[in-house]
Structure 1
Amino acid sequence: MRTIGLIGGLSWESTVIYYQIINQRVRERLGGSHSANSLIWSVDYTTVEDLIFADRWDEVSTLLTGAGRNLEEFGADLLLICSNTFSRVSDDVERAVDVPVLHIADAVGAEIRARGMRKVGLLGTRFTMEQPFYRDRLAAHGFDVLVPPREQRELVHHVIFDELVRGVLRESSRDAYARIIDDLAADGAEGVILGCTEIELLISEKDSAIPVLPSARLHAEAAAGFALAG
């Protein structure tokens, strides 16, 4: 079994999802009390959050690249940046190491292709919804990506940073997200990408009029598959 290296803490609330899903999939495949060979490098989230709001992405790149090198040195055979937003520096990390870096958008894109969807909605941070680094990577898989209008994007963004990364789950926010998903469905979305890993703490299939595509879960499952193929 290959060893998975997780660049986590982005935030730790969702890094827990990765660790749980990866180990569940390994146990399901191998049976008994098997679990994954894995390493986690968890950063202080406040540090990186301050950097992205100051548009200091070069420093984010330096920090996460260092984390990737450390994980490789400790024996990781595959790296994951456990975040959609911070996948903006995925190419930098990949250039700095000699092991594969599994991009979260590719894991999501593969699932959308497998389901035959042609148009999907995207919820995430303002960075993920508005900047091209994530949407373009998704679009390369051959489908259209819809984002909510500006006012709704702001609501989604603020719920993530003011509530979800702090472990706060509010019914009012769940209802607001559900209404935004309804609007995306009305615009033709066949599914909705939960394009911030923390959104999976708040939204599930039962809250959505259309299928949800949970990015952290899909990313973790792809990593488990890679590890077990070794």
Structure 2
Amino acid sequence: MQTIGLVGGMSWESSLVYYRDLNLGVQERLGGLSSPKLVLSTVDFAELTALEDAERWDRIGQLLGEAAQGVERAGADFLLLCTTTFHKVADQVAAAVDIPLLHLADVVAEAVRAAGTTKVGLIGTAVAMSDPFFIDRMAGHGVEVVVPAPAHHDYLNTAIYDELVHGHVIDRTRRRVVEIIDELWDDGAEGILVGCTELELLIRQSDIELPAFPCTTLHVNAALDRALG
């Protein structure tokens, strides 16, 4: 079994999901008392969000790169960033270490194409929806990504940062997000990328008509495939 390296803390709710689901996945696959070999380094989310607001992405990349180096020194065989938004600096993080980074967009694009889908909607943070870093990476795999109208970006961002990162799952927020997803369906989306770990706390397949691609779940499963393969 390979050792999975995690850079988390963006938010701690996201790190919790990664840790839990990696353990549950190994239990399901191997049974008994089996558990994954993990190395986890978490960052101060408040510091990173302040840097994000100031658009100091180079500094964010430096901090996450240093966290990744610590994970590498602790014995990780490959690396995951437990976040969608901060994959904006994934190339900078990957350059800071000598172990492979399992990029979220590559994993998600593979799952989308395996499902026979080429056009999907994305819900996530305002940065993930408005900045091309994730969308362009998906396009490189032949997957077109559409995002909600700009008028919805602040609402989704607020739902993530003011509610979900604190573990608050609110029914009225779920109903509003489902309405936003329905608009993406009208725009031609054939599936929905649940593109933020915290949004997976809110939106399940049973809530929507379109096929859901829960990005964190797909990332976890790909990590397990690699670690156990």
| TM-score, shorter chain, exceeding 0.5 | yes
* Unaligned ranges ≥5, structure 1: none
Deviation at 1:27, TM superposition (A): 1.8
Deviation at 1:124, TM superposition (A): 0.7
Q: Is the 8 A contact 2:135 2:144 kept in 1?
A: no
Determine the structure 2 residue equivalent to 1:212. Answer: 212
* Unaligned ranges ≥5, structure 2: none
Structure 1 segments, 4+ long, off by >2 Å, are none
Where 1:163 maps in the other structure, the secondary structure is helix
Look up the equivalent residue of 2:160 and give its one-letter code.
Answer: I
Determine the structure 1 residue equivalent to 2:92. Answer: 92
Q: How does 1:17-56 map to 2 (within 5 A)?
A: 17-56=17-56
Partners of 1:144 and 1:93 in 2: CA distance: 25
Name the TM-score, length of structure 1 as normaliser: 0.97
Q: Deviations over 1:68-91 (max 9, x none)?
A: 000000000011010010011111
Q: Does 1:152 align with 2:159?
A: no
Determine the structure 1 residue equivalent to 2:201. Answer: 201
Q: Is the 8 A contact 1:185 1:209 kept in 2?
A: no
Where 1:101 maps in the other structure, the secondary structure is coil
Deviation at 1:165, TM superposition (A): 1.3
Partners of 1:30 and 1:167 in 2: CA distance: 30
Determine the structure 2 residue equivalent to 1:106. Answer: 106
Deviation at 1:93, TM superposition (A): 1.1
Q: Is the 8 A contact 2:4 2:76 kept in 1?
A: yes
Partners of 2:25 and 2:161 in 1: CA distance: 29
Bigger RCO (CA 8 Å, 6+ sep): 1
Q: Is the 8 A contact 2:156 2:177 kept in 1?
A: yes
Q: What is the RMSD computed on CA atoms of the aligned residues?
A: 0.9
Look up the equivalent residue of 1:38 and give its one-letter code.
Answer: L
Q: Deviations over 1:88-110 (max 9, x none)?
A: 11111111111100111111111
Q: Does 1:2 align with 2:5?
A: no
Q: Deviations over 1:144-178 (max 9, x none)?
A: 11101111122111211111112221111100000
Where 1:92 maps in the other structure, the secondary structure is helix
Q: How many residues align?
A: 229
Q: Is the 8 A contact 1:2 1:227 kept in 2?
A: yes
Look up the equivalent residue of 1:151 and give its one-letter code.
Answer: A
Look up the equivalent residue of 2:207 and give its one-letter code.
Answer: D
Look up the equivalent residue of 2:188 and give its one-letter code.
Answer: G
Look up the equivalent residue of 2:96 and give its one-letter code.
Answer: A
